[in-house]
Amino acid sequence: MSKRPKLIATDLDGTIVRHDGSISARTVEAFTKAHELGIHIFFVTGRPPRWMHEIRDTFGFGEAICGNGAMLYNLQESKVTEEWMLSGEQQIEVAQRLRKAIPPISFAIESHDYYHREKIYVPRWDIGLDNIGVEKIEDAVRGPAFKMLARCSDGEFTSDQMLEIALVELDGLATVTHSNANESLLEISALGVSKGMTLAKVASRLSIDAHDCVSFGDNPNDFSMLSWCGRSYAMADGHPDGVNFATSIARPIKEDGVAIVIEELLQLPA
């Protein structure tokens, strides 16, 4: 007989955070009940820490893995506790390789305390954070960063097309993924860093096996996490390849698919 999980890990945007930025009351209630039963809750996201305040205020519990696995973040104390970064040299090499392979590409770099972009990089979510920009991202590299962003602002390439090229070009140098099929945007982390890697690390520290973990996600940056967990759910309205990495499918976010699954899981014996 299946048992109640000991750890629940969930992506945020497109999984429990709706496209208008809201989180349903049913979703909050489901996670709250799981937390009260002693289940470890991890919010595993591509977001930087500066975008986590609303999650902390909405739930009031749980831990966070930010930057697609690049950092452990104490959500309640708003503090980065551990991180795995791209060196300055690696950032420069990434930019040089991808410029040759995808000529329209532009870059931004970010860490928990800074964000810089090229002038031709058109931001969607950090508008106003870096209004000046630099001609080439190499001019903004000051040290380690937890993530590089690479965008085709003219939309000439889709995120999936960019990812197919970048996986070849960055092989052995960095981890590359994306979290939005419609944004012509790649997210690049240090080699070996992923949501799945970091989730496995924290679960091991808690003496919890993959078999006792459940995860939810909707895009390629979630696939490593979906693959690692013993039970995992790709969102029905997420990337079509999700079904290849998850053990099950959750109903769409607008139907509170994650909450429905958690409600069912909590009915299982401990």
Domains in the chain, start-ordered, CATH in brackets? Answer: 7-84+194-265 (3.40.50.1000), 88-190 (3.30.1240.10)
Question: Residues 125-154: pLDDT tens digits?
Answer: 776 677 789 999 999 998 999 999 999 988
Contact 270, 35 (CB under 8 A): no
Q: Residue 80's pLDDT is what?
A: 95
Compute the distance between CA of residue 86 and CA of residue 189 in angstroms, rounded to an integer: 6
- Taking residues 107-130, report their average pLDDT: 83
- Structure-token match 């069912």, residue found: 264
Q: Is the pLDDT confidence value at 29 over 80?
A: yes
Report the alpha-carbon distance of residue 108 to residue 88 in Å, rounded. 13
Q: pTM for the whole thing? A: 0.95
Q: CB of 243 within 8 A of CB of 234?
A: yes
Q: Is the pLDDT of residue 1 over 60?
A: no
Using one digit for the tens of pLDDT, what is the confidence trace for 212-235?
999 999 999 999 999 999 999 999
- Nearest Cα residue to 91 out of 107, 105, 104: 107
